[in-house]
Amino acid sequence: MSDDATDFDPSLCAPRARRHGGRAARAAERAAPLAENLRPVRAGLEGGQYRPLTDDGVRRIHQAALDALEQVGLANAPASGLEILTGAGAILGEDGRVRFPRALVEDMLAKAARGITLHGREPRHDLHLQGARVHFGTAGAAVHVVEVESGEYRDSTSHDLHEAARLVQGLDNVHFFQRPMVCRDIPDNLEMDLNTLYACCAGTTKHVGTSFSDPAHVEPCLEMLHMIAGGEDRWRERPFVSNSNCFVVPPMTFAEESCRTMEACVRGGMPVLLLSAGQAGATAPASIAAAIVQSVAECLAGVVYINAMAPGFPAVFGTWPFVSDLRTGAMSGGSGEQALLTAGCAQMHRFYDLPGGAAAGIADSKMPDMQAGWEQAISNVMAGLSGLNMIYEAVGMHASLLGFCMESLVLGDDLLGQVLRCVRGIEVTEDAVSVEVIRQTCLGGPGHYLGSDQTLRLMQTDYVYPVVADRMSPKEWNEVGRPDLLARAAKRRRKLLEDWRPVIDPLTDRAVRDRFRIPF
């Protein structure tokens, strides 16, 4: 038996004498692609079942955030930002801080975009951000790649980034690709930004997220995107890249260069993730509730900024607070507190009815082991069940965002399949709870449901089967040579790369390489 066929569980099948077609036929039936509307899990399933905050707690956080904006405000706005914000009604104090009257925040919230679409280069990969629709993807700025075989960490490169994008192209449960690691093989910052962008776009047609190290880099990167899209008009019609923008340096301080980058992206038609990434106990309050307050306040300042520039511009409310291990001050992205922070932030974006995004799935563990499994699973499940629209850093991230692992990315696709099945929940329909199936089985029937029409009908549409994870009995596991999980992940990684086909046509690729230096 090949490694890729071992998702079979013999305990779910009828005795051998009653089988029709055998294991291979059933495996082939499960492997056959389903129509998108029949798949058991897919992008945009509705979450929202989990609510760690009470309604009163949500309202109190909202009021505290408005108090913080009105009384504390934000420091260090760039000159262009001051003009935009004060022109809309913000107040520049003698201490240099910009304060936001409640009426101004409420006015800009009324103008903010809702129900936005983050486009893929193929419409089938479009992400519709509204309500509690859930999407999982990558993100981060890891500086190392985790080599599973050697257990070593090495510098990440543009080739690694391109490979990760190629893998995501073939992973059904990873819905978008935001840059998860830094191209440390390219010392020049402009060339790094250009190659980061091209490595992502040349690897996948799913929506891409990127960032810029300097505001001046936005223009040449937009030039590249216009080439890929087939012209500026086509880019503006369906912008398939968004800017992940840390426009604030917590606590409550604007990041001047990032603000100017954000302004350039808005002018260029690129959707923006308004990202506030304080660390509870360090750059945000240690109280989980207060950390959410600060993040909400900072992102509301971003909502004012964006909508004062361009009312209704597509932006993601990126409340993205992290957690510190208060014993050491080190980041603890795999903690239960991190999972609670993310789920609480999801409730706040739903309170405002804004497209929202935050981080989950981060492992503090250095390798894809049991610790990584529980850290990634707990926070991804809670984020999904809370109805977060964009769940970033969901797969592949280790060592509290310092390392990215390709095998963990592949394993994460299986993990997210199970998470999405939890998000989908239990549909209680007339057919699902029909006693007739029970009656036919128990009264004169075979006494089990293994071959019933309902079982055969639901085995693909209601059940998710992992590609890499092992569900064999110990006997069968021994018979096939005791396959190792990481070895199976490495095998699927190789297969995905072998099956990948270029997603940018040769003429465009040549034109981009003639215009820019692309080393991979």
The three-state DSSP-derived secondary structure of 430-480 is: CCCCCHHHHHHHHCCCCCCCCCCHHHHHHHHHCCCCCCCCCCCCHHHHHHC
pTM above 0.85, yes or no: yes
Structure tokens at 367: 């390798």
**Where residue 425 falls among pLDDT bands split at 50, 70, 90?**
very high
**Where residue 32 falls among pLDDT bands split at 50, 70, 90?**
low
**Where residue 444 falls among pLDDT bands split at 50, 70, 90?**
confident
Taking phi over 0 as left and psi of -120 to 50 as alpha, with beta for the rest, 367 belongs to beta
Residue 154 CB burial class (10 angstroms; 0-12, 13-18, ≥19): middle
- Pick from 379, 292, 295: nearest CA to 335: 379
Minimum mean pLDDT range among 6-10, 39-43, 48-52, 110-114? 6-10
**Where residue 435 falls among pLDDT bands split at 50, 70, 90?**
very high
Minimum mean pLDDT range among 24-33, 276-285, 371-380, 389-398? 24-33
CB count in 10 Å sphere of residue 289: 15
- The yes-or-no verdict on residue 4 having pLDDT over 80 is no
Structure tokens at 35: 């129509």
Residue 14, SS3 per DSSP: coil
Report the C-alpha gap between 126 and 205 in whole angstroms. 10
Asked if 342 and 358 touch (Cβ cutoff 8 Å), the reply is: yes
Report the C-alpha gap between 455 and 442 in whole angstroms. 15
347-376 burial, b at 16+ Cβ within 10 Å, e below that, comes to bbbbbbebbbbbbbbbbbbbbbeeebbebb
CATH of region 110-425+508-515: 3.20.20.480
Question: What residues does each domain of the chain span?
Answer: 110-425+508-515
Report the C-alpha gap between 298 and 258 in whole angstroms. 14
Q: Residue 401 carries which DSSP code? A: G
Report the C-alpha gap between 370 and 376 in whole angstroms. 10
How large is the average pLDDT for residues 190-217? 98
